[in-house]
Structure 1
Amino acid sequence: MLINLGRLLMLCVWGFLLANLFNPFPKPLKYFIDIALFFMVVMHGLQLVLLKSTQPKESPISRWQETKIFIFGVFELLVWNKKQSPVKKK
């Protein structure tokens, strides 16, 4: 439930940042949003590169999963990690 709320929040953030490219905000805010968009692309890209470098060659990540991790960031990584780790019962 909260993961889906985080995904929705991330989509709203992406939408807000990309809206500045098509309809720029007033001058001081425009520069801040441009820097925030650059930072977001770099951080999500770095997150994806680091994840791909730690994966074994036998089980690569699909393109669809890579796209979801780039867009949703840590929220998608939490879901992905939960699916990857086996459930341990006591």
Structure 2
Amino acid sequence: MNYFITSGKLLMLAIWGFLIGNLFFPFPGQAALLFYIFLGLISVMHIMQLLLIYGAFAEKLKLTKADALQVFFFGVFKIWELKGRLTS
């Protein structure tokens, strides 16, 4: 399971790099617009995940700023890591 989480985090890091790189070096034609839309969607989804964690587990799980940033960038892969802190 730990290998899966690490692989997922590396994949998300590559996706974020690709999408943010498109802001500075846009792809030609309609591809840039598509990647702007993907960047917006992934940002909204990860903000929703972060708000869901704050709303559902605020009294049981205290997130540091570093944890919150990792949830934003890595999404469900960081949430799986935090699950261990929630059950103990």
Gaps of 5+ in 2: none
Q: 1:27 aligns with which of 29, 36, 47?
A: 29
Distance 1:85 1:63 in 2: 21
Q: Does 1:43 align with 2:45?
A: yes
Q: Which one has a bigger Cα radius of gyration?
A: 1
TM-score of the superposed pair, with normalisation by structure 1: 0.88
Q: Does 1:76 align with 2:78?
A: yes
Distance 1:6 1:58 in 2: 26
TM-score of the superposed pair, with normalisation by structure 2: 0.90
The amino acid that maps onto 2:71 is I
Asked which structure has the greater RCO (Cα within 8 Å, sep 6+), the reply is 2
C-alpha deviation, 1:54, in angstroms: 1.1
Distance 1:34 1:4 in 2: 26
Q: Which runs of 4+ in 1 moved over 6 A?
A: none
Identity of aligned residues (%): 34
